Chain A
Amino acid sequence: MDAMKAVKILCPTGHLSFTPLEPDSFHRGCELAPDFIAADAGSCDMGPRPLGADQHVSLEAWQRQDLEYMLLASRRLGVPMIIGSASDTGTDRGVDQFVDLITDIAREHRLPPFKLAAIYSEVPVAELKRRLAAGRRIEGLDGRPDADTTTLERTHRAVAVMNAEPMRKALKSGADVVIAGRSSDCAIFAAPLLNAGFSPAISYYTGKLMECASFCAEPFMGKESIMGRVQGESVEVTAMHPGQRCTPASIASHAMYERTNPLREYVAGGYVDMTDCRYEQVDPKTTRASGARFVTDPVVKVKIEGAGMVGQRRLAIVGIRDPYTIGLIDKAIAWGRGKLEERFGPAGESYQCFFHVYGRDAVMGALEPSPPRQPHELCIVVEALHRDAKRAEEICALGARNLFYARLPEVKGTAGAAAMMSDEILIGEPGYEWTLNHVIPVGDPLELFRFRYHRVDANAREEVTS
């Protein structure tokens, strides 16, 4: 294995187009002749709405610009480009949108013909229902119960999270550009490495270290490129920005980012065990990491992410300055809740209404250890949800205005207990919830994914069979 040729992967951004990538360090990386250019374009960090509503949160102008930098470099250097979790959520819409953008960019720049593979990862809720009806388990992750028909009824859209296998297949077919639906971040980097003959351990581990681009370097900077050079069972990660360096501390601390267990990285089919990993500085900007192991699961379980709409959402903003009302704010809110219940019944059945008390504990809620006893002023955001928009508006208005009319003993300011920033009720986007954070067992890691191949040239995009 040590005799095997080293493979270099350039990663320009940790979440393509969430904000635009920085071109200087990317071009510097391109000068070092990478074998692959790869980036993750999605996340479940932004909450359930983008998936549930099937919308992207990255601006299309930035998506286009980031894809353009990558595509032009990939075609100029003649190396494949791999994008995972297209358009934030990795739904079929996201994959199609990126395929269209790539086609458009190719046309604009009159690029020579290339092969594009699109991998779709959306799973129809009906398909999940079929599996459940056939007695197959949809197993809850992170302490969630297994999904039942009620869980699926609440789900409007779901994606399966692929490991490296679908992207490996696309690359093996000769694809120059791979646009994948929802993917494990590390799989985007593991796919070309596995195809080159590297072990699952170093392949997925490299992906884990590289997936957030410059976040693994110091000092803190986003959207700057990094290069990973994989040889044998180790990877050397180098910061491409002149002011950044990869150090054992920065790489090790990144390995623990955004996961519950800093020593394990899970993908469909197993996990990377980082218990015995070692980090050494090899030059001022580069750290070598090694020592990962891969533990294979006996059954491949693919993660399913699902989101569903809870209701239409309306918001109101109310300020309070009267120290007496502030001291009794919980009583004022309770009185307002009582009025809502008189009119609409108990909260939680047909509607929800939240009072976020900014200036006291809105940010942390029940986790707040030291809410101030007597804040100077409060901002209360009233958030109401109902499946009917008009009713949501009514609930929100009543919740907000009853802070104004709150009946508290000995109130001196009888002209109103609250300041309305404006009397309008703000129209929120519908509220969504994560309904599925589950896994389903599969016989084949390709089972839930669909492939389309295109020959793209400056004049046309033509679907090809494989």
Chain B
Amino acid sequence: MSATLRELASTIRSKNAGVDHITFDIIFRSRENFERVRDAGVITRDTMAALYRVEPSRITHFVVYEPGNAIKFTIRRSRPSGSPGETDVFGSQQYAPLFDIAVP
């Protein structure tokens, strides 16, 4: 049965990683849920680039972090944090679109 990422992960967050990047952490309390998402192929560099409508090259890092039961990826900002025109200085409200990802 399919579930959403929001149901399976214990933490879904975004935050600045330095002044030029926003990094996304998807962390699982259960190893089983982590492996289910890890192996489902729904969270990859390409699917995240498509979701956030950026070129895959702007996803500068994509890491499956086994010790933390976590998947982590990083998007390069279009302009540095806090520049005029920027609306999320901490990069802390960019994760919401991850919630509804369907995981088989």
Contacts and interface: CB of A to CB of B under 8 A. Distances in A.
Contacts of B86: 47
B84 A311 contact: yes
Interface in B53-72: 53-54, 60-61, 63, 65, 67-70, 72
Interface residues on B, range: 35 or more
B65 A263 contact: yes
Interface string A139-163: 0011110000000000000000000
Interface in B20-78: 20-21, 23, 25, 27, 29, 51-54, 60-61, 63, 65, 67-70, 72, 74-76, 78
B61 A253 contact: no
Contact of A260 (B21, B27, B82): B21
Given A257-B25, A260-B61, A370-B97, A141 B18 contact: yes
A432 B82 contact: yes
Interface of A: 44-49, 141-144, 249, 252-253, 255-263, 274, 277-279, 305, 310-311, 313, 352, 354, 356, 362-370, 383, 385, 431-434, 437
A365 B67 contact: no
Contacts, number: 140
Contacts of A259: 17-18, 23
A310 B75 CA distance: 24
20 contacts: A48-B81, A141-B20, A142-B18, A142-B21, A144-B20, A249-B29, A249-B68, A253-B25, A258-B17, A259-B23, A260-B17, A352-B84, A352-B85, A363-B93, A364-B94, A364-B96, A367-B52, A369-B52, A431-B84, A437-B20
A255 B65 CA distance: 10
B10 to A, nearest CB: 9
A118 B89 CA distance: 30
A362 B87 CA distance: 7
Nearest to A428: B84
Contacts of B82: 46-49, 432-434
Nearest to A363: B93
A383 B16 contact: no
A48 B20 CA distance: 12
A390 to B, nearest CB: 18
B88 A363 contact: yes
Interface of B: 11, 15-21, 23, 25, 27, 29, 51-54, 60-61, 63, 65, 67-70, 72, 74-76, 78-90, 93-94, 96-97
Given A47-B81, A279-B67, A437-B18, A369 B53 contact: yes
Interface centre among A142, A274, A363 (most CB of B within 10 A): A142
B53 A385 contact: no
Given A48-B83, A366-B78, A437-B20, A256 B72 contact: yes
Contacts of B94: 363-364, 367
A143 B69 CA distance: 28
A264 to B, nearest CB: 10
A277 B65 CA distance: 12
Contacts of A49: 82
A47 B51 contact: no
A168 to B, nearest CB: 25
Nearest to A311: B84
A120 B50 CA distance: 45
Contacts of A255: 67-68
A366 B83 CA distance: 15
Contact of B51 (A354, A369, A385, A437): A369
A184 B74 CA distance: 21
B18 to A, nearest CB: 6
